[in-house]
Structure 1
Amino acid sequence: MEVIRHEGPGRLGLVRLGEHSFRTPALAGVDFTLSPFNSFFHPREPGDYDFNLAPSIPLGFYTPGEVIDKAIGRLWSVNYEGFNAFYLPALRRTEYLGEFFKIIERYNFDAVYLGNSKILIKEYRYFVRILRELRERFPNVMIIADLEPFFYPLAVYLGVDAFDTRSLKLYDFEGKGFTQFSPFIWSDEPNSLDFARKSILEVRKALESGKLRYLVENYFPTQYHAGILRIADLEHADYLEKYTPIQKETVYFVSDASIRRPEVKRWHSRVAERFVPPENTELVLLFPCSAKKPYSFSRSHTLYRKAVKEALGSGIFKVHELILTSPFGVVPREWEWLAKYDIVVTGHWSEEEIKPAAQLLARTLEKYPKDVPIIAHLDEAYVEIAKLAGELSGREITFTRVENGTTSRESLRSLTETLREFSLEATKEDRTYRYFENIRKVFDFHFGAGAGEAVLPENGKVKGSKMLRLFVDGQQTGTYKDGVISVTPYGMQRIYDRLKAYWVKVDFELRGDVFAVGVDEADPAIRPDDIVGIVRDGKVVGVGKAVLAGEEMVRARKGVAVKVRKRA
């Protein structure tokens, strides 16, 4: 199976079987044929199916260890020649997974049928853990499960690629028809296969448009859905984030589960690890977010900026601004183009929103010199966040007097009066430095602290008005426009030399895209859709967009790993 697109561990994939091929997520009996379940003794030969299940021993989820030991011993004696699918019984005793994995690896199966799926779905931790171990160890194996259509979005999001539809006939025999509210509300007309087709089509479209997580959060018909997603978000956040593409479109936070999305975890991590305050900062300002994005285009932030400029004049180029928001927590002004999200604003913040935001703000404030004053122009829950952050960081925060909202005349007057107590003078060099920093920080977000300096050092030049072109020593390193960047091979070489980051190592002459089978090593920090440098013998020979995560590129043996955009 080749991966075309990721959203979390969920994959839009392509399976090639001789002259026949199909896209995943898929349905057995619709998109491909699957042999009946095989016992240990029958059949001895594969049949005329796309996927032939090898002889197996159907162990139950709660099978005791001594029985599993005997079964594994017998499975090693099976002649697997001609069989391309392996029946993996999901077991509560997960310590035996490794033994089954050895068989899968030894005989290079194309698909794994996850047995006991309907019991496993009720065991939240086991469900997520088994899928994670399968997906990480066998990136090109198609995972098949036997689940009802209302589980399709969640199961695909966590790593399942296809579903067996044969057991759905039981619902037809019982006269139950699926609805969008099943399993609580049923139709009187049997429709299992039609509903399965409709459901898998919705999942496929959601994957294609990058909206699978959104679909998952709107598909919570049972307690099992909520429990599984919560376990995945809280206990396997790194698993979800690793395969989640770099955010380019607006993320819609539509439920309590939204604040645990991988994009939020990634944002918090990058603010903590990759954001470095401008060196000439002499005053820090804290502002609330706005409904309009980027914030600078909003009425409220236009008024804030006017008040700051009125009070400080050119000193504004020595001020650094942090915007507080949920669920991203803290948005440095330079990153406001990158904070693409939409959330319901009610003024009510939960503890799950307040505490992480305060902790992130505290870590951010600790990055500034201790003698740099911090002024907060906030109201409502934002004040609570800032006060808690002050306690956690040990930094003193001065609050302006806010009445009737932060944009009222009284509040803006208080902001201006508070700022006039500071005498800041900026030079032409400060203005140029901040102009460069606005560009540099975006490169830091994508590649790590220091990447911006690599593509736009002090002696660098910026040309253009709307689409800015960056140059070092007469050679272009990249472009910047409204938070969107590109990097040339020369720019990527400078990033690689400085940070050794976002590289994919190959040992062949680059002529087209890089396939997974040709990847020798890759930076584990790479995520789908990242800009990466293709490196050969220490030299960047091309720049492209990652299709797979870094670790996945190394393990995978099929499909495109990097779509090459520019060659050196």
Structure 2
Amino acid sequence: MKYFFEVLSSRIGYSRLGRILFSIERKLFISTPNLIIPIKSALMRQLNFIQEFENHDIFKVSKEIFLKIGFIKEKFKNTGFIFMNNGTLRKFQDILLKNTITFSEDNIISIIPFNIPTTCITKEFAKNEIENYLLHVDQILKLYSNLHFGLSIKVFNYTELFNLYIPLIKQNKNIKILNIADLFDNLSNFRNILKIISEIKRILDNNLIIMASGRITPKIYPILVYLGIDLIDSSYLLYLSANNFYDTIEYLLPIYKMKYLPCSCVVCKGNLKNLIDNRFSPEKFDLLCLHNLITATNYMNKIKQYLTFEDYRGFVEKSSFDDTNVISALKLLDKDYFDQIRYDTPTTQKVKRVQCYGPISYYRPDFREFRERAVENFEPDPWTSLIILLPCSAKKPYSQSKSHQKFQTVLKKFPEFPTFQEFIITSPLGVIPRQLEDVYPVNSYDISVTGEWDNEEINITAGMLIKMLEKYDKNIPVICYLKEDYHEIVKIASAKLDQNIIMTNIHGKTTSDDSLRSLGKIIEEFKDFYSNKGHFEGGDYTSKSWNQKFIKILDYQFGPGSGRKIISNGVKLLRNRKQSQINLVDLKTKEKIGVFNSPTGQINLTITSLNKLIQSPSTFNKNSIVFNGDVINGSTLFRAGVLDYSNDLIPNNQVIIFNKSKNDIIGTGKLLVGRNFLKNTSTGRIAEIIEKKKKLKNQ
């Protein structure tokens, strides 16, 4: 059987969308992440089970007899099967020998079992068992080199023992699935979980399918998918059903306590309600199994919907509010593994509202990436004469809110307004230059506002404010137009800065007439205080404002100074409202500069513009890939076509594609994956091509 897995795109955290090819002849693709449904005799006797799951993508069989039943093959012919025998390794070898043709031709792949009867073992005993298992597995893999397998991985709570598996995985290319069999049984070991997941992502082929099995309940499916799990074995639900547990997703409840069934599946609408008090009913067990599997499948469908179209990180956070282990795992992942996970997490999401749920959201990777990149790449304008600190608003972008429109009315009364630099103070994103208000996640986030800031919010924002203001001449006045709840931030920053920070009198609301008059008076008093050395080019303010916005966005995307290299003659805007895009055209040359995408706040530059940015391609090493050729064909760049790449590649960013000699830009693309994927795999999709250099007639 031909078989492979490919990552289609990376999502936030380690999560990803992919597909498994189970049959080339029938073009049978199985999407991931996905849920593995067990096939058992008790389930197959239920007509409702067959009707509910006949179109499910992937099943697990554990008995040899199911490999031979023609009905199953015919009824589920458009699905994939995973064979997981619960017996010994020797028993598995016997089954493999007798069913070699089945495993080589049909839509099935086998997981090599690792079953030890005892659970209380020392580290030395565990090490010996793993080494013995790997010795036999290596023999199986070499004997059946034409077959593909899944490898069962157990560490018995000894994280360091995972390293024993790595050489075997790297040496045997017919290992296609890593079945992590005991890691998620106890989420209180979240530190060990993150260590192993991080190691898998760091050193192993990222096209390996990651599967989770063991004592797993649907409640933790969201965090498993966030950690990059592609397949989840739902077999544990059968054990829970046998022990009379009813799954509501939020809780596992004993069925005899249920008075109101909160589900409308075929089971709950049927006879289950009449069997609740019958403690030892075989029919009740069968029905509970079916209900729990239906509930788990529906939840996985919800996860896939959020992963594909919504803010998946927000979904994971919401699902974890009553699980301190998941909350701890998210926080630890955000802080301790950011330098790795940032290269797997897209910097943008399209048309998605991002909800912040408190401290659990403060360091989510896309927020932290924005803060660090904004501080690193924001460059002060040389003509800045005044800095104004403003509060945030519920409506995004800020300039569309009523409060900021009133602020702008006051500021624009002054001819010197173009020399004013506005910063919006907000949580948890910190300090936002006005020019970056359209950039994701600034244009998308929402957070509950009570007027009180916790210490973490204060420290994040104050630290960013210090870094931003340090970029400016200390003699430039800083006007603080903020209410008292912001003052602690300013107080911390001012203690470490030499700037003169002037507090404005706020009378009630910041939008009251008295407050706005106070703002105008302060500006009038200090607008000429600093004699700047820079020169603001004259002209229509509106066009200059758009110029500055796009210049700062390009700096944010490509590094300080990038915007001025590209937008040197001014820019003309051509709106395409149907596609939420603005085409940017050079005022002087009339050449297209690029396309501004409103939902993401990013600019896709043309090859012409990138040539302005990159004067010396051979020494340029940012956001770039070296292609193994001189002409790009097709609409997708694959890993086989990549000779080299820069170390800053992040999913969804625009990537510059050089020819193999690295002396010419031959295309641009939108990255589907990041640096980590490129480093650890030799196959798969890398980028969608946005523009490619046209072929010359003699090529």
TM-score interval, smaller chain: over 0.9
Q: Is the 8 A contact 2:494 2:501 kept in 1?
A: yes
- Identify unmatched segments of 5+ residues in structure 1: none
Question: What residue number does 2:419 align with?
Answer: 318
Match of 1:445 in 2: 556
Counterpart position of 1:328: 429
Q: Which amino acid aligns with 1:140?
A: N
Q: Determine the structure 1 residue equivalent to 2:90.
A: 41
**Residue of structure 2 equivalent to 1:521:** 644
Counterpart Cα distance in 2 of 1:291 and 1:216: 23
Q: Aligned partners of 1:74, 1:497: CA distance in 2, in Å? A: 56
* Larger gyration radius, structure 1 or structure 2: 2
* Paired position in structure 2 for 1:105: 170
- 1:145 aligned residue: 212
What residue in structure 2 maps to residue 510 of structure 1? 632
**1:296 and 2:402 aligned:** no
2:686: which partner in 1?
Answer: 561
Q: SS in structure 2 opposite 1:131?
A: helix
Letter in 2 for 1:447: F
Q: Aligned-pair distance for 1:3?
A: 1.3
Residue type matched to 1:368 in 2?
Answer: Y
The 8 Å contact of residues 24 and 162 in structure 1, kept in 2 or not, is answered as yes
Structure 1 position 173, deviation (Å) = 1.0
Aligned equivalent of 1:403: 507
Task: Show CA shifts across 1:365-403 (max 9, x none).
Answer: 101111211111100321211121111334331111112
Q: Comparing 242-251 with 108-117, which one deviates more in the overlay?
A: 242-251
C-alpha deviation, 1:124, in angstroms: 0.9
The 10-residue stretch of structure 1 (505-514 or 238-247) with the greater mean CA deviation from structure 2: 238-247
Match of residue 171, structure 1, among 218, 229, 240:
240
**Contact 2:155/2:161 (<8 A) preserved:** no
Q: Which residue of 1 aligns with 2:33?
A: 25
Residue 510 of structure 1 and its aligned partner are, at CA, apart by: 1.0
Three-state SS of the structure 2 residue aligned to 1:52 is strand
Compared CA separation, residues 60 and 332, structure 1 to 2 (3 A): farther
- 1:445-524 correspondence runs (5 A): 445-457=556-568, 460-466=569-575, 467-471=582-586, 475-480=591-596, 483-497=601-615, 500-508=621-629, 509-512=631-634, 513-524=636-647
Letter in 1 for 2:493: A
Task: Say if 1:319 and 1:118 are closer, same or farther in 2 by CA, change over 3 A.
Answer: closer
Q: Which amino acid aligns with 1:488?
A: T
Task: Let me know the Cα RMSD of the aligned residues.
Answer: 2.5
Q: Quote the offset at 1:348 in angstroms.
A: 1.9
Looking at structure 2, the residues matched to 520 and 73 of structure 1 have their Cα atoms a distance apart, in angstroms, of: 39
Residue pair 1:120, 1:126 contacting (<8 A) in 2 also: no
1:506, 1:518 within 8 Å by CA — same for their partners in 2? yes
1:157 maps to 2:279: no
Instruction: Tell me how far apart the structure 2 counterparts of residues 260 and 450 of structure 1 sit (CA, whole Å).
Output: 28
Residue identity opposite 1:107 in structure 2: N
Who is 1:129 aligned against? 195
Contact 1:376 1:398 in 2 (8 A): yes
Residue among 106, 113, 131 paired with 1:72: 131
Displacement of 1:516 after TM fit? 2.0
SS class of match (1:3): strand
Please say if residues 6 and 207 of structure 1, whose CA atoms lie closer than 8 Å, have aligned partners that are also in contact: no
User: Which of 328, 334, 337 lines up with 1:233 in the alignment?
Assistant: 334
CA spacing shift, 1:358–1:120, aligned 2, 3 Å: same
Compared with structure 1, are the counterparts of its residues 6 and 60 closer, same or farther at alpha carbon in structure 2 (3 Å cutoff)? farther
Whether contact under 8 Å (1:521, 1:554) holds in the other structure is: no
Q: 1:4 is matched with which residue: 1, 8, 16?
A: 8
Equivalent pair of 1:519/1:554 in contact (CA under 8 Å): no
Checking the alignment, whether the CA contact within 8 Å between 1:527 and 1:549 is kept in structure 2 is: yes
Equivalent of residue 85 in structure 1, options 119, 132, 150: 150
Judged with a 3 Å threshold, the aligned counterparts in structure 2 of structure 1 residues 444 and 184 are, in CA distance, closer, same or farther, namely: farther
| In 2, Cα distance between equivalents of 1:332 and 1:532 | 25
Number of the residue aligned with 2:159: 94
Letter in 2 for 1:502: N
Q: Which amino acid counterpart does residue 595 of structure 2 have in structure 1?
A: T
Partner of residue 491 from structure 2, selected from 374, 387, 401: 387
Matched, 1:53 2:111: yes
- Give, in whole Å, the separation in 1 of the partners of 2:231 and 2:211: 5
Give the match's secondary structure for 1:469. Answer: strand
| Equivalent residue in structure 2 for 1:284, among 381, 387, 401 | 387
Question: Which segment is superposed worse, 134-143 or 363-372?
Answer: 134-143
Q: Where do 1:210-229 residues align within 5 Å? A: 210-220=310-320, 221-229=322-330
Query: Does residue 309 of the first structure (1) align with residue 317 of the second (2)?
Result: no
Q: Bigger shift: 470-479 or 14-23?
A: 470-479
Contact 2:246 2:252 in 1 (8 A): no
- State the TM-score, normalizing by the size of structure 1: 0.92
CA contact 1:376–1:400 (8 Å) conserved in 2? yes
- Under a length normalisation based on structure 2, what TM-score does the superposition of the two structures give? 0.76
Q: Secondary structure at the match of 1:346?
A: coil
Displacement of 1:275: 0.9
Alpha-carbon distance in 1 for matches of 2:148, 2:119 = 23
Counterpart of 1:510 in 2: which secondary structure?
Answer: coil
> What is the rounded CA distance, in whole Å, between the counterparts of 1:22 and 1:166 in structure 2?
19
The match for 2:20 is 15
